[in-house]
A and B are shown apart, each in its own frame.
Chain A
Amino acid sequence: MLELLVILLCGGILASGILAIRLSNLMAAMVSSGLSSLFAAVCYVLLAAPDVAMAEASIGSGLATLIFLYAIRRTGDATE
């Protein structure tokens, strides 16, 4: 049961990573990138590394999204 969840979460990491590369809308690509790190944090918990998961959730999903928002706001329009 949990192996199936890990496989599904890895598929979600792949799908959101491909979306983050392929989408032309910068905001949507940023949201997809945040989702990729969110799934990675859940994978870390399921692989018995809760401290790594906490760091990944705080940096990848929280701080990186804010920095990307600031960068998009400073460099121009949100849509390409």
Chain B
Amino acid sequence: MADFFLFVAAILIFFGIVLGVLRLILGRTIVDRVAAVDMLTVISISVIALYAHVSGRFIYLDVALVYGVLSFLSVLAVARYLERGL
């Protein structure tokens, strides 16, 4: 049962990455691309968490934690620049 849910999660992550990269390629404005990068960041964190569960190495959750904090700062800096300059 748990394997089924992990498989469904992997399929959803797959389609999420494909659609996010498509939005990045086709994006008309900068805001579209920044939103796509933010979504792909969250998907990447979920990939790391899923892999930590599948491989049984829970030290990878620390990587996901650091990753979430830093990508949040990056997207925040870009959004502040777009609003009124750094």
Contacts and interface: CB of A to CB of B under 8 A. Distances in A.
Chain A residues touching B, range: 35 or more
**6 tightest A-B CB contacts, nearest first:** A62-B70, A65-B74, A50-B63, A42-B44, A57-B67, A27-B30
Interface residues of B, number: 37
A28 B34 CA distance: 8
- Chain A contact surface mostly: helix
Interface of A: 1-2, 4-5, 8-9, 11-12, 15-16, 19, 25, 27-28, 30-32, 34-35, 38-39, 41-42, 45-46, 50, 53-54, 57-58, 61-62, 65-66, 69-70, 73
B85 interface: yes
Given A5-B10, A15-B21, A28-B33, A69 B48 contact: no
27 contacts: A1-B7, A5-B14, A5-B47, A8-B17, A9-B17, A9-B47, A15-B25, A16-B21, A19-B24, A19-B25, A31-B37, A31-B78, A34-B37, A35-B24, A38-B37, A38-B44, A38-B71, A39-B44, A45-B47, A45-B63, A50-B63, A54-B62, A57-B70, A62-B70, A62-B71, A62-B73, A73-B81
